[in-house]
Structure 1
Amino acid sequence: MTSSRLSLLLAAVLTAATVSAAPAVTPPPQTDLARQWGLPDDFYPESITADSRGNVYVSSFRQGAVARLLPGQQQAQVFIPSGSNGLVSAQGLVVDEARNTLWVCSGDFGYSTAAPAASALKRFDLQTGAPMASYPLPGGGYCNDMALDSKGTLYITDSIQPRILRWRSHSAGLEVWAQGGVLAAGRSGLTLNGIALDGDDTLYLSKVDAENYLVQIPVNADGTAGQPSQVQFPRTLQRVDGLRRLTHGQLVFFENDVGGPQSAISLARITGETATVQTLADARTAPTPSSGTIVGKRVYYLNSKFSQLLAYPPQQLHQLPVGVPFSIQVLDLP
């Protein structure tokens, strides 16, 4: 794979995770003069989520680690250290409080400071960050993003193979839930990116390539996949990275237009197979938003700065600037 194709692939697949029904979360303290919270330097954050106690978790694509921001703090600290449990580039995050678990997608495109390893779904203790389990992707692939339903079933996007994987509480590993058809690879040769559940019965998915639609898949009563369809948008979506359910039929989505001018955070209102879009933040305030999490009437989001990271091919990462600051930022919902 050429360095230019690798950079395109990386720019497209970096994403986040979503839960079906967000728990009630106590937000970090907030004043008009404190609209952000610090992350470790050189973190290059990828995904963000929160638990019901107000703890915020952020994954690092570069460090292969997870940071945690406790209520009342202004600076997040490393919670899961680099490389723990074979974690390489940490991507999608899901809090699973019923199973005392923090789920993390791990991938490897050569940009992490952690030791190389195959892509896998990683399980950590939610209280301590200790490793609990690791689930390889059957037949290879790239674990990108996840959504959790009320029964504890995880749905996982694969960005290399055209499929959605599933983990159930009684499963020893991952299984293929849906594949092929509208999930097929796009122009880049890549497939799925973000994922969100609307209740337990409807999945929404974004494709890696810029498209004017999201994929919608019903979840049948017996747990099988229904017939996929396309939800048409009034404009092209520029690499939708993270998807977050706000309420029934409403999604907040994050366009991580790495290297381009059209990054944005927007609100989609979906009716049937059509959607309207309201822009909440454009590239001026959200230049490369890889993900966000909804806490009350606010969105806490990340500026990934992936444009800077991906300007260097893996063999030239020794030239990457050091001491680059990162933060969790916030915007108010309408």
Structure 2
Amino acid sequence: MGSVTSGKILQVQPNGRIETFFPGNNEIFAANSLRLDDQRGILWGASSDFLGVRGADGKVTRRPHRIFALDIRTGKVLRVVLMPDGGFGNDMAIDPKGGVYLTDSNRPRIYYLAPGAKQLQVWAEDDRLRSQPVGLAGIARAANGIVVVGLFSGGRLFKVTPSPQGTQVDAISLQRSIENPDGMVFAPDGSLLVLEGAIASGNGRLLCIRDILTPASQPKAIEVLADKMESPVNLTVADRQIWVT
């Protein structure tokens, strides 16, 4: 578990005991999203400087946002990669090769960090992937390589399809808009699990959208799996259970 105001990352043991996995440092001052690359034993995270550093004159300076990689066995810092162009790295998805997809909440962009690369590259950019005050947030990658992203303030989902000519961005037609879509992941059966942050209404929900990538003549139905949560932001699936923060 991470935090938007501290680089400390906590680990919950099977018996419920909570331990500090990583204490944070000068380079990693927040962990507002985490994504595990289990195959390579790497924990990726986004570190965005919400609080900034207050100087003796009272002026607040914000450090460049970044992503980082930790060795899951030792907690050793493996990589720190700065966001380009003043971007705000929000959430990540991992592909089978260990590449990292990353949403930018400031710009209508999805970045990709190839395995072994030192810099993020723009993977998709489209002005429709913009909303105010917060743009892109959650991201999930399907087994066929198609990526789904959500606009946090815009309430819409988009699918991004890679091709040799580039990427194609398409809006996903839904039965209703989603109030602050955030963390998302594909379930083993191909359904998309999405958290509805619901800042205004206060009724945070865990949603399920089935067959989201298949063409349909009607808007996709949204199923509520759980509700009455306060600001759910991130989720993951493990051992047929859905874990939500």
Shared fold per TM-score greater than 0.5? yes
Structure 1: gaps of 5 or more residues: 1-57, 303-334
Q: Does 1:109 align with 2:55?
A: no
The aligned residue for residue 235 of structure 2 is 292
Mapped contact 1:293–1:301 kept (Cα < 8 A): yes
Mapped contact 2:3–2:31 kept (Cα < 8 A): yes
Instruction: Specify the code of the residue in structure 2 equivalent to 1:204.
Output: V
The aligned residue for residue 29 of structure 2 is 88
Measure the CA separation in 2 of the matches of 1:122 and 1:96. 12
Mapped contact 2:44–2:69 kept (Cα < 8 A): yes
Q: Does 1:129 align with 2:70?
A: no
Q: Please give the residue correspondences for 1:162-241 in structure 2 after superposition, counting only pairs within 5 Å.
A: 162-183=108-129, 185-186=130-131, 188-211=132-155, 213-220=156-163, 222=164, 225-241=166-182
Deviations 1:29-60 (A, max 9, x none): xxxxxxxxxxxxxxxxxxxxxxxxxxxxx111
The aligned residue for residue 60 of structure 1 is 3
Measure the CA separation in 1 of the matches of 2:26 and 2:153. 31
Measure the CA separation in 2 of the matches of 1:130 and 1:136. 18
Q: Does 1:153 align with 2:99?
A: yes
Measure the CA separation in 1 of the matches of 2:196 and 2:240. 20
Measure the CA separation in 2 of the matches of 1:237 and 1:179. 22
Mapped contact 1:195–1:242 kept (Cα < 8 A): yes
Q: Does 1:141 align with 2:91?
A: no
Instruction: Specify the code of the residue in structure 1 equivalent to 2:227.
Output: D
Instruction: Specify the code of the residue in structure 2 equivalent to 1:171.
Output: A
- Identical-pair percentage: 25
Q: Does 1:260 align with 2:190?
A: no
Secondary structure at the counterpart of residue 236 of structure 1: coil
Mapped contact 1:64–1:112 kept (Cα < 8 A): no
Mapped contact 2:4–2:50 kept (Cα < 8 A): no
Instruction: Specify the code of the residue in structure 2 equivalent to 1:203.
Output: V
Larger fraction in helix: 1
Mapped contact 2:148–2:158 kept (Cα < 8 A): yes
- How far the C-alpha of 1:90 sits from its partner, in A, is 1.0
Mapped contact 1:88–1:112 kept (Cα < 8 A): no
Instruction: Specify the code of the residue in structure 1 equivalent to 2:230.
Output: P
Instruction: Specify the code of the residue in structure 1 equivalent to 2:223.
Output: Q
Mapped contact 1:192–1:207 kept (Cα < 8 A): yes
Provide closer, same or farther for how the CA distance between residues 97 and 294 of structure 1 changes in structure 2, counting only shifts above 3 A.
Answer: closer
Instruction: Specify the code of the residue in structure 2 equivalent to 1:76.
Output: I
- TM-score normalised by the chain length of structure 2: 0.87
**Structure 1 residue ranges, 4+ long, deviating more than 4 angstroms after superposition:** none
Measure the CA separation in 1 of the matches of 2:45 and 2:68. 5
Measure the CA separation in 1 of the matches of 2:153 and 2:93. 20
Secondary structure at the counterpart of residue 87 of structure 2: coil
Superposition RMSD in Å = 2.2
Mapped contact 1:105–1:145 kept (Cα < 8 A): yes
- How far the C-alpha of 1:152 sits from its partner, in A, is 1.4
Secondary structure at the counterpart of residue 290 of structure 1: coil
Provide closer, same or farther for how the CA distance between residues 249 and 225 of structure 1 changes in structure 2, counting only shifts above 3 A.
Answer: farther
Measure the CA separation in 1 of the matches of 2:62 and 2:128. 32
Instruction: Specify the code of the residue in structure 1 equivalent to 2:134.
Output: L
Secondary structure at the counterpart of residue 139 of structure 1: helix
Q: Which has the higher contact order (CA 8 A, sep 6+)?
A: 1
Structure 2: gaps of 5 or more residues: 55-60
